[in-house]
Structure formats: structure tokens, C-alpha cells
């Protein structure tokens, strides 16, 4: 590995990819050397997964070139990727939990005896040597499902290595790992690096990137921002590269004067979350920022009674709210627009009217019978307010665009007129026009005295539309700051944990 730095192992030149109206990758470059850990960073939607899918052969690039060892290559299928020695370790693992580790490792090329029967003994021996190669101490006879996620991941890495992967892409591999497991994974990564494998490491965690990587490349909005050597760059630099886009005055909101505390959360915990303490006042918009997996959605669900609480109290305008399901939370005056509107929010086959009216039917019911005219009129009123096409009333909601679907999801809770609104990613997958309208609506609701908690991965949005920001990391609120004057860098530093590191501390020696 002497001339490695001269001849890159993998090189991407001007690679582009477009999905419909979205330019997911715009002429990006990337270079990976032999025996290098190269971190790839960027906010959600920066184009990291698109790049990964292109390398995996799951999707095809529209333009540009991919060179492996200086040779131009085409990756038309996952099979091509494998034969070129490119392996991807996805966040969702690609293994069969019901089978043993050894069976998983020999999947597709099981050794056979002379009589065509499965050669279990050899499969077991092979598995042992594959696991030993990456230094993982796992009994290959165990069923894969009985292992922790971390160990399952190691089995998958062992498989990739056994297939002589020269390029290994790891997509947030430590997201589901305990600290100890992560350390073990780092060890394996270092071993593979010294064995000459090139590793692309996608992660949001500054700390581990500085621990592991040799270089870092940052993407933003589908474009290449820059590549830097780890020891010449600080976490603050990377954050600036990640977020430094110009922010239009999309988020202007009226001056608001928050009133009394409406939502008061103390010591709330459940699952891996908490305890968290926070409050939202009447007429106030509070944003909850943090990385994916930091527990923001879970906090919303705990307040809304969708998940079981293990501790803590929630008060709505002074009255304690202990919902055992969302039905009771709604009765207490809480509303939640869930993160994933298609899977959790909407009834795609059902009419827009039904989708809007479903949570307020008790207002339009006499002895169990729905007063249909009134329910319809009420739904129409909300559609008018949100500038939804009125003739969509009877259409199935799946016939609407993403932005209009989100408006229908919001309309349901506008009709309910709850005191507390939890909006989880209210503008995800929504076009800019609908975004602006949703921001105006949030502002209008706040002025009408509602207490609004917005969970958002879109930093400019989280800062721009709110009065205060709560930053979450690893299930807890680690920082709170006023939105006025807050910078994306500052929020990102707390969200990634980079703020707890003095500058340059993590640079490799």
C-alpha cells in the first residue's frame, strides 16, 4: 500500500441523478483510496443515499463516470456491484433471522458433499474462518435472530469481506448499536482499512467520524461541497459546509407574544427516551430539532398516548393528561400529525372528506348517527381555509399531490381545534408553495393561541418558524435556545454532540 494515495481505488466524476423534478445528485465528485476510511456527510436529502444506491446498482446514474482502479465501470445491478467488489451494509440488514449465522454466511453458495447434500461441517468451518477474518467472536451455530443488532451487522460485514469486497459502504452503521458494540465495530473497520479495503462511512455523528475517518466529503442539496483531511478540518467547518445554504425569507412569522403554559411536560420517559422536561405556551411555536433517531418523534408519541410512558407527567392547561391511547389524548386537547403521512396519517383509499372528519365525528353525531351534511360542510370549510381544491372532497386522498395530502392531514386537526398541536415533519416531501402555506397556517394557529410543537429535520425551518428550539440527542433534550439569532451551526453542534468536543480534539494522530 505504498502508491495508494496516487491511484484512487474508486472515483466518481460528475455523477448526476434526477428523480422527476428533483435533482438528487448534481454533478458530484467523490474519491476513495485504498486503505482509507472516507466519511460522507450531509443533511437529510443531501444525496448520500442516492449515491449509495448508485454504487449498489439499485439505481442508475443519469450522467458522469465511475472509475474503479482507473477503469471505467458500469454498475447495472446489485450483482454487478458484487462482482466488482463493492459491498453495502445497509441500515436495514439483508440477512435471514431464522437461519443460523453459518447458514447466512453460506447463503447462495452452500458447500455440498459428494452426494449433493448440504455439507454442514464445511459450512461451519467456513463461517468460523470468515468471522475470524474480521475478528468477530460469534458462534456460527446460533440463529441470527438471537444475536444483537450489532452482532448481526458484523455477520453481514463478514459476508461482505468473504466476498472479497474492495469497497465497503457503511450507512450509519452505529445508529442501532450500543457503545461497546460500536467500539468493536470501529476495531473491525480499522482492521479492514489496514487490509487495504476502502471504506465509505456515512454518519451523522461527528465524534465517531473524527475517531475513524481519514477524510471527509460533504454533500449539500445534491451537490458536492468539499473534501478535507480530518486533521486539517474541525467539526465546526463540517457543520458549516453541511448547512451553509442561503435561506430565503420563507419563514417570516409575525411577532408573537406567548401566553400561559399550555403543554407542560415533566420527567417524561418511555422506551429509550427521556426523562425530558419542556413546556409550550399558548401562542408559541417550539421546534424540536435533532438527528434522525434522536427520539423526537418518540417524545411526540409519548405525549399523544401512542406509546406507553414509564414515568413523568404531562399537563394540559394545568390539568394532568394521562392518556392510555390517542383517543384519550385527543379528548384532553392534544392533536398530532404523524411523521409519515402515508403510513400513519391518512386513509389513502378513503375520501378527503372522511380523512378530515374522522377525528371530529363526535361533534357531528346524534345517538351514533353522523349528521352528514354538517360533517361535509365542516370538512369543506377546512379545505377552503387550506386552499385545497373543493372538488376533491369525494376523491380518494391518494389522488392528491404530496403537499395537498399533507394539507388534508392538517385539516383533520384544524377541524378538531385542539389546544396543543404536535406536528411531526409537517413539510416533508412537500413542494415549496405548499410549504409556505403550511408555515403561514402554523403562524396563524399560534396567533390564535394554540400551543404548537414542531418536530423538524429541516434546520432552517426549525429555526425560522419557531420561538424556541429544543435540541434532542440520544433520547434527551440536550439544549434549549431562543430561535431569534440561532444559527444552524449552533443547533447542529448540539444535535451531533460536536459541541462537547473541543476543536480538533478528535483529529487522528
Partner 1 sequence: MNPEKTSDTALRSDMLEKEPFDFAKWWDRVGILVVLLALVALMAIIAPNFARVDNFLNIARAISVNAILAAGLTLVILTAGIDLSVGSIVAVSGVVSVLAAMAGIPAPVAVIAGMAAGALCGVVNGALTAYLALAPFIVTLGTMTFLRGLAYTMTAGQPIVASDLNFKALGNGYLAGVPVPVIVMLVVYVAVWFLLERTRYGRHVYAVGGNAEAAQLAGVRVKRVVTSVYVIAGACAGLAGVIFAARVISAQPTAGTGYELDAIAAVVLGGTSLAGGRGRIVGTLIGSVILGVLSTGLILMNVPFFTQLLIKGIVIIVAVAIDSLKQRQFIFSRIFKR
Return residues touching partner 1 (CB under 8 A). 20, 304, 306, 325-327, 329-330, 336, 338, 343-350, 354, 357-359, 361-362, 365, 368-370, 372, 380, 384, 390-391, 412
CA distance 167 to 171: 13
Q: Which is nearer to partner 1, 365 or 500 (CB)?
A: 365
CB of 384 to partner 1, least distance (A): 8
DSSP letters for 48-78: HHHHHHHHHTSS--SEEEEEETTEE----SH
Q: Which is nearer to partner 1, 68 or 423 (CB)?
A: 423
Look-up of cell digits 475478528: 135
CA distance 191 to 132: 12
Rounded to the nearest 5 degrees, what angle is found at the Cα of 339, between the Cα atoms of 358 and 90? 140
Q: Which is nearer to partner 1, 70 or 368 (CB)?
A: 368
Q: Which is nearer to partner 1, 44 or 359 (CB)?
A: 359
Q: Which is nearer to partner 1, 361 or 432 (CB)?
A: 361
CA distance 114 to 134: 30
CA distances 23 to 224, 250, 281, 428, 434, Å, are 13, 21, 39, 16, 19
CA distance 385 to 63: 43
Residue 454 in contact with residue 297, Cβ under 8 Å? no
Query: Which three-class secondary structure state does DSSP give residue 325?
Result: coil
CB of 328 to partner 1, least distance (A): 9
Residue 173 in contact with residue 153, Cβ under 8 Å? yes
Query: Which three-class secondary structure state does DSSP give residue 508?
Result: coil
CB of 23 to partner 1, least distance (A): 16
CB of 301 to partner 1, least distance (A): 9
Q: Which three cell numbers stand for residue 116?
A: 449433493
CA distance 445 to 332: 18
CB of 391 to partner 1, least distance (A): 5
Q: Which three cell numbers stand for residue 353?
A: 372528506
CB of 24 to partner 1, least distance (A): 16
Q: Which is nearer to partner 1, 109 or 398 (CB)?
A: 398
Residue 258 in contact with residue 281, Cβ under 8 Å? yes
CB of 17 to partner 1, least distance (A): 17
Q: Which is nearer to partner 1, 231 or 327 (CB)?
A: 327
CB of 350 to partner 1, least distance (A): 5
Q: Which is nearer to partner 1, 281 or 412 (CB)?
A: 412
Amino acid at each position: 500500500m505504498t502508491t495508494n494515495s496516487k491511484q484512487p481505488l474508486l472515483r466518481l466524476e460528475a455523477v448526476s441523478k434526477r428523480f422527476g423534478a428533483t435533482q438528487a445528485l448534481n454533478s458530484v465528485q467523490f474519491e476513495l483510496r485504498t486503505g482509507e476510511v472516507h466519511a460522507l456527510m450531509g443533511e437529510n436529502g443531501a444525496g448520500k443515499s442516492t449515491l449509495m444506491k448508485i454504487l449498489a446498482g439499485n439505481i442508475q446514474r443519469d450522467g458522469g463516470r465511475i472509475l474503479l482502479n482507473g477503469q471505467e465501470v458500469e454498475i447495472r445491478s446489485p450483482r454487478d456491484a458484487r462482482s466488482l467488489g463493492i459491498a453495502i451494509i445497509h441500515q436495514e440488514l439483508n440477512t435471514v433471522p431464522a437461519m443460523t449465522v453459518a447458514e447466512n454466511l453460506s447463503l447462495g453458495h452452500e458447500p455440498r458433499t459428494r452426494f449433493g447434500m448440504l455439507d454442514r461441517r464445511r459450512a461451519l468451518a467456513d463461517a468460523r474462518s470468515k468471522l475470524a477474518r474480521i475478528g468477530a467472536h460469534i458462534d456460527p451455530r446460533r440463529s441470527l435472530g438471537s444475536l444483537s443488532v450489532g452482532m448481526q451487522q458484523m455477520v453481514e460485514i463478514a459476508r461482505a469481506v468473504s466476498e472479497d469486497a474492495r469497497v465497503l459502504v457503511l450507512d450509519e452503521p452505529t445508529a442501532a448499536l450500543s457503545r461497546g458494540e460500536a467500539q468493536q465495530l470501529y476495531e473491525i473497520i480499522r482492521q479492514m482499512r489496514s487490509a487495504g479495503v476502502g471504506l465509505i462511512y456515512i454518519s451523522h455523528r461527528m465524534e465517531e467520524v473524527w475517531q475513524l475517518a481519514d477524510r471527509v466529503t460533504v454533500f449539500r442539496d445534491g451537490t458536492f461541497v468539499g473534501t478535507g483531511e480530518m486533521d486539517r478540518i474541525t467539526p465546526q467547518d463540517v457543520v458549516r459546509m453541511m448547512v451553509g445554504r442561503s435561506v430565503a425569507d420563507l419563514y417570516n412569522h409575525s411577532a408573537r407574544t406567548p401566553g400561559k403554559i399550555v403543554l407542560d411536560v415533566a420527567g417524561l420517559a418511555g422506551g429509550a427516551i427521556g426523562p425530558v422536561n419542556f413546556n409550550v405556551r399558548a401562542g408559541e411555536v417550539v421546534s424540536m430539532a435533532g438527528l434522525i433517531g434522536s427520539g423526537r418523534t418518540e417524545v411526540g408519541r409519548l405525549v399523544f398516548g401512542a406509546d406507553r410512558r414509564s414515568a413523568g407527567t404531562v399537563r394540559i392547561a394545568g390539568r394532568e393528561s394521562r392518556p392510555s391511547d390517542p383517543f384519550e389524548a385527543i379528548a384532553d386537547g392534544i392533536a398530532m400529525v404523524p411523521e409519515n403521512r402515508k403510513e400513519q396519517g391518512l386513509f389513502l383509499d378513503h375520501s378527503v372528506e372522511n380523512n378530515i372528519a374522522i377525528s371530529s365525528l363526535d361533534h357531528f353525531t346524534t345517538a351514533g348517527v353522523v349528521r352528514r351534511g354538517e360533517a361535509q360542510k365542516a370538512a369543506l370549510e377546512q379545505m377552503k381555509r387550506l386552499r385545497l381544491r373543493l372538488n376533491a372532497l369525494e376523491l380518494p386522498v391518494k389522488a392528491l399531490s404530496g403537499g395537498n395530502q399533507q394539507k388534508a392531514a392538517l385539516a383533520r386537526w384544524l377541524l378538531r381545534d385542539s389546544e396543543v398541536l404536535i406536528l411531526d415533519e409537517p413539510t416533508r416531501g412537500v413542494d415549496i408553495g405548499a410549504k409556505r402555506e403550511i408555515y403561514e397556517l402554523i403562524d396563524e394557529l399560534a396567533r390564535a393561541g394554540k400551543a404548537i410543537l414542531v418536530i423538524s429535520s429541516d434546520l432552517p425551518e426549525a429555526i425560522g418558524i419557531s420561538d424556541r428550539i429544543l435540541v434532542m440527542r440520544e433520547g434527551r433534550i440536550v439544549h434549549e435556545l431562543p430561535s431569534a439569532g440561532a444559527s444552524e451551526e449552533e443547533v447542529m453542534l448540539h444535535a451531533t454532540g460536536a459541541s462537547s468536543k473541543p476543536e480538533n480534539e478528535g483529529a487522528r494522530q
